[in-house]
A and B are shown apart, each in its own frame.
Chain A
Amino acid sequence: MIEVNDLSKDFKVYHHRKGFFGSFVNLFSRKHRIVQAVDKVSFTVARGEIVGYLGPNGAGKSTTIKMLTGILVPSSGSVTVNGYIPHRQRKENAKHIGVVFGQRSHLWFDLPVQESFELLQRIYRIPEAEYRQNVEVFEELLNLGDFFRTPVRQLSLGQRMRADIAAALLHNPDVLFLDEPTIGLDVVAKARIRQFIQRINTERQVTVVLTTHDLDDVEKLCKRVILIDNARLRFDGELTALRRLLSTERLLSVDYAEAYPDVSIPNADIVYQEGARVQYRFSPEEISAADLIGTILKKFRIVDVSIQEPDIEDLIKTVYEDNLTLERKLAEPLSPDI
């Protein structure tokens, strides 16, 4: 569905001189520096996938999305979406994709939502029956009814975002690009949008590429994540694989039947102990969770156990901050199921 090969984008940033004389000099001088926004990124996305495209501020996420949607011409490398080259076959590509930039609205500021939708129906030449059906479904799933006849400039951020997402899907696109679709929204609004995206993906097989800084979005929606940092691809794989790759340590909480005096277990450190409740830290590379629990069961009677996965937020933070570690890890051969 999407193929990206060695995709790069660099921007020339011109040095601006201030003042009257400066602006005169600006006309002639071409002094600039180059900002590498995306550097040789490659990945493919299959039909029906939801991929989280993640990275810190300035990593190059939006720049990549812009190249995938035909808004920017790559400096080098290739992109195809649906078999189209977005920047060359802009209009053709546009008919088959839906785009939402959370920071900006695609709707007509002065027009009620409904009329924006009607214009889109015309633009994309959506047959009347299909249009009606979509509007009905989206109206219900996203609760557009309350503000369907309100001019877009009067909408709250959450309402606007819902309207924008529905607008991007009216023409039944094959691929949906979402650049920070939950930015600035409250918990309820976020949940509703996630549910909606999930549903559209399963029911219509819409491929979704999503950038976000909200890792709950990722956890709820994306099986697969692509991490970029500083313009480079850092990880591409399943979220669970990322977890396994990075989480050298896990926590095991145990509620014992009684407060045993000595609860130490080989290969596991006690993080804290409070009466009958004990928390261990262990590394799956040294001892598997099953073995650890087995060992405990042989020695003591327990009431309850639970294993805590590290937060993906922490995981991703490790990737960004501790990039040497990940580089080393990625260099090691990954097991086939990753």
Chain B
Amino acid sequence: MKSLYLTFHVYLAFARKSFQKQMQYRVANLAGLTTNFFFLLVQVFVYIAFYKASTEPQPLSIDDIITYFVLCQASLMLMPLWGGREIADTIKNGSVALQLTKPVDFQTYWFVDECGRAYYYLFMRGLPTFLISNLFFTVTIPQQPSVLLAFAVSMVLAIFMSAAITITIFSTAFWTLDTTGISGIAASVITFFSGMLVPIALWPEWLAHIAGWLPFGGLIDIPFSIYLGKLAGIEIWIAIGKQTAWCLFFMGFGRVLLSRGFSRLVIQGG
């Protein structure tokens, strides 16, 4: 038990350091904040124009849409592949081997590193984006504590899943020295199927059905649908269960890839 606590302590320290690391790039963050806000404006105006032009009833009200995109921009940096370059870089330049001389578990190490980063962006990018947006738009805030709680849980799972996906994708650097191809494709697929560009609620049914079978809705669609009160009761539990399952899947898959990668490294020397 004590050993478990100490281990937890080590990785907590890693997460904190990761947070601190990001602190060094405050100016970049400020620039990013401006960009986020600019994109938010564009998205919102496009949808307002679209809603004005359409006469049919839509599954999401214009206030829902605005809130949805505010949340998307606020959590943009928590999405997969924004971090994790370090993983690909250390694998590519071979310094990943040095980590073998330390008594740590890499996946856990990288995982908490990603979580520390996400935590930073949650407070330093997400929160400001959310607050500033409140000055310009009407952003709805759930009134029921149970909804807020479910949203919080779902958001944490989304962050975990994002970290696990990032590690999995960048660990392909063990085999292909150039990860820009695969990470580019993954980024497009994730951006689309998470519902980041167009909320899945507005998709044609057949496409929404496909999205339902894919993991990426767990990053955006599920937490924000919970936030907007579009899921209720048992639906929330099912959605969170789905997120958890995909989260475990990516952690497991990433673990297998990494251990393959490392055994290749220690046998072939990279």
Contacts and interface: CB of A to CB of B under 8 A. Distances in A.
Interface of A: 9, 11-12, 63, 66, 69-73, 87, 90-92, 94-95, 97, 99, 101, 104, 106, 108, 110-111, 115, 118-119, 122-125, 151
B266 A94 contact: no
Secondary structure call for the A interface: mixed
Contacts of B100: 69-71, 90, 94
A245 B98 CA distance: 38
B268 A11 contact: yes
B104 interface: yes
A90 B103 CA distance: 8
Interface in B83-103: 94-95, 97-98, 100-103
A115 B101 contact: no
Scoring B10, B14, B101 by chain A CB atoms within 10 A of each residue's CB, the highest score goes to B101
Contacts of A94: 100-103
B233 interface: no
B34 interface: no
Interface of B: 6, 9-10, 13-14, 17, 20-21, 24, 94-95, 97-98, 100-104, 266-269
B98 A123 contact: no
Given A11-B269, A72-B269, A73-B266, A111 B17 contact: yes
22 contacts: A9-B269, A12-B268, A66-B97, A69-B101, A70-B100, A72-B266, A72-B267, A72-B269, A91-B103, A92-B103, A94-B100, A95-B103, A101-B98, A106-B98, A108-B17, A108-B21, A111-B20, A115-B17, A118-B13, A122-B10, A124-B103, A125-B6
B103 A151 contact: no
A97 B103 CA distance: 10
Contact of B21 (A71, A99, A101, A110): A110
Nearest to A101: B98
A122 B13 contact: yes
A87 B266 contact: yes
Given A115-B20, A118-B13, A122-B13, A70 B268 contact: no
